[in-house]
């Protein structure tokens, strides 16, 4: 099936190909003869997927698009403070080749004008066998994900015509902004401008910036996230020369153009964009390149100040334990205790990105809770981005809870937030991968607090299981006579997914785990069962198959009503069998009931 | 319980109170005598919640913070093109009161320097009884959500000392940037600078910008979103005068400061920030204000170029109808047809924000599907932001599907995306509020295509219901003798939530809906049942209560096995009753099975 993204890009390319305004850069022979019809658009996502339309294989010189990358290397080498002493980050409002240095200090306004870019080159020092230029070339190559080459014809052109840049280098040397030999620096600047790229290279370089400094295909950290933030900020305010302001208003993406006909734009966290088309506008930027970015920004809503429609509430559900007991079958006595205190356990299901506004809502909801809330469960399964503000606020909240003798627990399948939070708080944070386990934790917590004698009995009589609750003692006695005693050691797999019904197993002592298989084949723990609970009856459904694998977690004693014994009971004591089947049906509908309650919570969000 | 946000703010306020650098603005008497100890911080969220620390009630003159608001009014009145002819949007790199106009045209570089701000005032025309200044005052008041007043002592101070601004106005008039009387314009400029605000007012004004132009408490649209985008872009590049670049790098929030000691910053979609503290730095911005913003940005990760940790995949689950049939009980024949074609229906559960990268993943997953996919269901319940790029790509996708004879349906509870998409595509888009209804749609679709004779039978025999499938014809006959015929007209409520078990109802013809009640009390449709299906048996669970309300959607005939009849059956034909109860238990466990399958899908994501 066709990709709508490819369809869109092809249509855009075809439309903008018709625009023949502008002239290729006449300053050096190599670009002066560039074919004005060449036009390539390339998008690279942070996942490393690349979309291309037109001439994306065509090589051309990187020119000024090199500036943000050399600046990035200087920041990586020296840090932003040292670099800031040599190069400011203020928009100059000047054309790219203006001879404008700050009064007194001679400091260039920013690294995107030639003076600043040349100063940035001078900050890169050779290391071991790698010369300054080799390091620059290696660095660009890491962004592109392939070895980039210098064009000697472009380099010779730059050298023969670059008088203005030589003047700038001398001037920078006179102010001691450049401390090395200015001729050597400006030669390396010409070299870096002469590195040959195609639109695909540039899109991947831009995507590496979009991806916080990690190459989207190679997955290596090319630069630190802090460097990326600095570089993108400067590209936002100074990237498009004297056109930066209207660019920011209309396109709103950090970007950089070069007289070679290239242009890159970055959508942080999302996308790198690159265009190649040689004809330039009065500012020295590719005409089709600017138009492509403008159209993409408008059609795709990419502007960084797009406030968007407000996200859904970060609180997807807000309920108490009463609305969603764990499903662990407990004795009537335990159930009564849990019912009495269920509202002291509050569950908040959070979702989306927890940036400032969302975190504020969550924190306010929690601090507005009743004073008698004792337990708080935060279900983070639908959270996309647990941001720095969420981490900071939750850290404070955990410490407030601790001080008031209350408890917090997380539902956090991969444990990432739990470990961050635990390290911030320097304490252990209760955390579970799934909902039932967290509810079970809450129930245990309440029982321990209000009825410690009821917590995990060592051993329970068959008569006391919830399934047999509606059955009379006389009937239970008849059933008990048919039961078979079994004992499983820890690790023993008692029942497997797909096996047929062979009986109902009553747990007398010990614990078993039920694990299911997700549609992708992965396994997940569904529940832990203990004394007084049953398993095996699920296979009574239409498929006739066991739906979970049951494994003994410790030495476990069970009493089994095998399907043969059940048949015997039906034959010998049909009245008892009838009442047993009614009890089984009731038990099954109790589970259906529980599911419907859970759905009710889910549907609230 | 204490709010961690308030705790953070109080601590920050206390720390920064200690910084006594800077001097209040000495240019006019009213600000020269401001108490340098005064210090207030206010945060206002887009939900209208306000957090305050320190002197947030203290009134002071708005001064240059007025500039973005008057510029916004000019944009609203005239549009960005007409305004752009008078005022550019380029950073000037100059100090706020520099006399710098563009060569030739005399156009000010941007509306945040005095020249541009005075030009913006001149673009506001009186309307009916409202003078230019009244309109400006009204406009600011709408942003603040209360009537703001002018201070005549500040105004007189401005008038007596504003020679430079008078010169700028005359100069602008000479270039015909100002077309009115320049003295009147500059007087109104002095007036707008003299409007008195406190930090809370400014925070709400900033929050209105953050909220796409809608006041977070009054909920009225004060300005259009496009105006907000333009204003915030200019604030980003030009808001902090000659300090804009380093501000962008370190704070990365669109902002504006005023010599009155105020400063605002905007986190789009999230938050308005305002600080009042009179001592100014060399750039004319509040020292404590700048420091507060820097700290907030760092501590809370507010920088606009923060690429963040990549969100979770936008595809939360990916499965076929085989993994999640609707739960509608169908005849064996229908089930066989559905099983045979179930993989032709693909369900994608999407989540989070569908911006470019996420939309790209979704679209690629769909276009990579097997050629024999016939139906696609997009579950949008967990989507937070269905952005412009998602809308555009989905529009194209719907048309591609249409062209290939395939169908798309949405699970879209509030129908918002459906109606946007339908209007873009100019066609009807199938859409359902919940999962079971969408699955039912898919099943009907498959049956209609591959076994049209099985689709919604007019009337079904009790013997053919799924519940009685395992029961022998002889037993069914005995049961049928006990059944009571009933007929309900459309709209009749047959069973209500909470009612006890009174029998099992077999639908012979017609349709009923089951509605549940969510934990917040709202109702939701759970399923639609038709001929061959049963209801009422849910109340057999431990609670003994009906869990859904059952309403006839059309004239519906049922045959009921009342609980009295069931007791009679148990007495008169215990063997039949036993087999019936086994069938009921099987039916219940079939539902439990279905739930476990659904959980397996959910746990995959």
Rounded to a whole number of angstroms, the distance from the CA of A338 to the nearest CA of chain B is 16
A445 CB burial (10 A radius; 0-12, 13-18, 19+): buried
Residues forming beta bridges with residue B328, ordered by sequence position: none
Number of cross-chain residue pairs from A and B with Cβ atoms under 8 Å apart: 416
Tokens at B148, concatenated? 């703001």
Residues in chain A: 605
ipTM surpassing 0.90, yes or no? no
CATH number for the domain whose boundaries are B4-307 = 3.40.710.10
Contact A307 B228 (CB under 8 A): yes
Confidence at residue B434, expressed as pLDDT on a 0 to 100 scale: 79
Contact residues on chain A for B393, CB-CB shorter than 8 A: 4-5, 8
Please spell the DSSP secondary structure of B44-59, one letter per residue. EETTS-EEEEES-S--
Confidence at residue A325, expressed as pLDDT on a 0 to 100 scale: 81
B556 close contact with A: CB closer than 8 A: no
CA atoms within 13 A on the CB side of B457: 16
Confidence check: pLDDT of B382 > 80: yes
Confidence check: pLDDT of B310 > 60: no
Question: What are the residue ranges of CATH 3.40.710.10 in chain A?
Answer: 4-307
Confidence check: pLDDT of B599 > 80: no
Q: Which of A249, A298, A367, A385 to mutate to test the interface with B (most CBs of B within 10 A)?
A: A249
Higher pLDDT pick, A353 / B69: B69
pLDDT tens per residue, range B438-479: 888 899 899 999 988 877 667 778 887 878 888 999 999 999
- B41 by DSSP, 3-state: which? strand
Confidence tier at B213 by pLDDT (50, 70, 90): very high
B110 close contact with A: CB closer than 8 A: yes
Tokens at B365, concatenated? 């997953």
A491 CB burial (10 A radius; 0-12, 13-18, 19+): exposed
Question: What are the residue ranges of CATH 3.30.750.24 in chain B?
Answer: 325-452
A219 close contact with B: CB closer than 8 A: no
Confidence at residue A81, expressed as pLDDT on a 0 to 100 scale: 92
The mean per-residue pLDDT over the stretch B278-289 comes to 94
Confidence at residue B39, expressed as pLDDT on a 0 to 100 scale: 98
Confidence check: pLDDT of B365 > 60: yes
Q: How far, in Å, are A314, B413, B440, B592 from residue A604 at the CA level?
A: 13, 11, 22, 22
d(CA A220, CA A76): 15
d(CA A68, CA A223): 12
d(CA B275, CA B289): 5
Question: What are the residue ranges of CATH 2.60.120.10 in chain A?
Answer: 462-604
Chain B residue at shortest CA distance from A84:
B246
- B487 by DSSP, 3-state: which? strand
Residues in chain B: 605
B299 close contact with A: CB closer than 8 A: yes
Contact B309 A8 (CB under 8 A): no
Confidence at residue A437, expressed as pLDDT on a 0 to 100 scale: 80
Confidence at residue B308, expressed as pLDDT on a 0 to 100 scale: 46
Q: Which of A245, A346, A504 to mutate to test the interface with B (most CBs of B within 10 A)?
A: A245
Confidence at residue A344, expressed as pLDDT on a 0 to 100 scale: 94
Question: Which candidate, B315, B454, B422, B329, places its Cα nearest to that of B378?
Answer: B315
Contact A603 B518 (CB under 8 A): yes
pLDDT tens per residue, range B431-449: 988 787 888 889 989 999 9
d(CA A334, CA A311): 41
A241 labelled ligand-binding: yes
pLDDT tens per residue, range B244-277: 677 888 888 999 999 999 999 998 888 999 999 9
Confidence check: pLDDT of B523 > 60: yes
d(CA A287, CA A307): 28
Distance of CA B71 to the CA centre of its chain: 28
Mean pLDDT check: name the lowest of B28-42, B81-95, B207-221. B81-95
CATH topology of domain B462-604: Jelly Rolls (2.60.120)
How would you write B98-160 as a 3-class SS string?
Answer: CCCECCCCCCECCCCCHHHHHHHHHHCCCECCECHHHHHHHHHHHHHCCCCEECHHHHHHHHH
**Strand B484-488's sheet: what is its strand order?**
B484-488, B556-562, B503-509, B534-535
Rg of the Cα atoms in chain A: 34
Which residues of chain A fall short of a pLDDT of 70? 93-99, 241-244, 306-312, 329, 456-457, 518-522, 524-526, 597-605
CB A454 within 8 A of CB A445: no
Rounded to a whole number of angstroms, the distance from the CA of A365 to the nearest CA of chain B is 10
The mean per-residue pLDDT over the stretch B351-362 comes to 84
B72: left (phi over 0), alpha (psi -120 to 50) or beta: alpha
The mean per-residue pLDDT over the stretch B97-126 comes to 89
Confidence at residue A600, expressed as pLDDT on a 0 to 100 scale: 61
CATH number for the domain whose boundaries are A325-452 = 3.30.750.24
- B396 by DSSP, 3-state: which? helix
CB B75 within 8 A of CB B235: no
**Strand B345-354's sheet: what is its strand order?**
B315-320, B345-354, B375-386, B407-411, B430-432
Q: How far, in Å, are A533, A588, A597, B383, B572 from residue A466 at the CA level?
A: 7, 11, 19, 40, 29
pLDDT tens per residue, range B217-253: 999 999 998 999 999 999 988 888 666 677 888 888 9
Q: Is 0.90 surpassed by the pTM of this model?
A: no
Question: Which candidate, B293, B276, B291, places its Cα nearest to that of B38?
Answer: B276
B25 labelled ligand-binding: no
Confidence at residue A18, expressed as pLDDT on a 0 to 100 scale: 96
Question: Which candidate, A209, A179, A217, A238, places its Cα nearest to that of A72?
Answer: A209
Confidence at residue A289, expressed as pLDDT on a 0 to 100 scale: 96
């Amino acid at each position: 099936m066709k990709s709508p993204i490819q369809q869109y890009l092809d249509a855009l390319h075809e439309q903008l190909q018709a625009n023949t305004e502008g002239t290729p850069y006449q300053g050096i022979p190599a670009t002066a003869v560039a074919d004005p019809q060449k036009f390539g658009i390339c998008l690279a996502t942070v996942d490393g997927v690349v979309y291309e339309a037109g001439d994306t294989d065509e090589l051309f010189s990187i020119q000024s698009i090199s500036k943000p990358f050399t600046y990035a290397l200087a920041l990586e080498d020296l840090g932003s403070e040292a670099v800031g002493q040599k190069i400011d980050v203020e928009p100059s409002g000047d054309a790219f080749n203006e001879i404008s240095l700050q009064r007194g200090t001679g400091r260039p306004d920013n690294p995107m004008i030639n003076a600043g870019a040349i100063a940035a080159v001078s900050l890169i020092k050779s290391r071991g066998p790698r010369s300054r230029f080799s390091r620059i070339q290696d660095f660009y190559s890491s962004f592109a994900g392939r070895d980039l080459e210098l064009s000697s014809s472009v380099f010779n052109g730059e050298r023969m015509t670059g008088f203005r840049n030589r003047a700038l280098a001398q001037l920078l040397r006179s102010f001691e902004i450049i401390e090395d030999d200015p001729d050597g620096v400006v030669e390396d600047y010409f070299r870096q401008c002469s590195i040959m790229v195609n639109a695909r290279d540039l899109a991947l370089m831009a995507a590496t910036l979009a991806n916080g400094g990690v190459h989207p295909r190679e997955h290596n950290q090319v630069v630190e996230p802090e460097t990326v933030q600095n570089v993108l900020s400067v590209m936002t305010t100074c990237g498009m020369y004297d056109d930066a302001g209207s660019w920011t208003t209309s396109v709103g993406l950090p970007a950089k153009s070069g007289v070679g006909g290239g242009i890159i734009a970055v959508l942080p966290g999302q996308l790198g964009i690159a265009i190649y088309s040689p004809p330039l506008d009065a500012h020295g930027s590719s005409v089709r390149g600017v138009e492509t970015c403008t159209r993409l920004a408008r059609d795709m809503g990419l502007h960084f100040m797009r406030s968007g429609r407000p996200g859904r509430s970060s609180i997807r559900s807000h309920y108490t334990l009463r609305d969603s007991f764990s499903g662990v079958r407990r004795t009537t006595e335990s159930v009564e205790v849990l019912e009495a205190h269920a509202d002291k356990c509050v569950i908040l299901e959070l979702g989306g990105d927890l940036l400032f506004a969302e975190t504020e809502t969550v924190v306010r909801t929690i601090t507005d809770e009743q004073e008698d809330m004792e337990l708080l469960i935060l279900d983070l399964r639908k959270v996309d981005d647990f941001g720095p503000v969420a981490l900071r606020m939750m850290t404070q909240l955990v410490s407030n809870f601790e001080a008031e003798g209350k408890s917090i627990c997380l539902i956090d399948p991969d444990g990432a937030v739990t470990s961050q939070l635990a390290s911030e708080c320097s304490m252990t944070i209760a955390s579970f991968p799934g909902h039932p386990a967290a509810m079970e934790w809450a129930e245990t917590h309440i029982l321990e607090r209000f009825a410690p004698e009821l917590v995990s009995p060592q051993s329970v009589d068959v008569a006391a299981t919830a399934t047999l609750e509606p059955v009379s003692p006389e009937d239970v006695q008849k059933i008990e006579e048919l039961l078979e005693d079994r004992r499983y050691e820890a690790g023993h797999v008692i029942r497997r997914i797909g096996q047929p019904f062979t009986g109902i197993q009553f747990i007398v002592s010990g614990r078993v785990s039920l694990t299911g298989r997700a549609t992708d084949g992965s396994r997940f723990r569904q529940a832990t069962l203990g004394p007084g609970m049953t398993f095996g009856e699920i296979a009574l459904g239409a498929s006739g198959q066991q739906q979970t694998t049951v494994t003994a977690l410790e030495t476990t004693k069970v009493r089994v009503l095998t399907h043969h014994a059940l048949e015997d009971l039906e034959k010998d004591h049909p009245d008892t069998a009838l009442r047993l089947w009614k009890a089984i049906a009731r038990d099954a509908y109790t589970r259906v009931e529980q599911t419907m309650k859970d759905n009710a919570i889910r549907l609230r969000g």
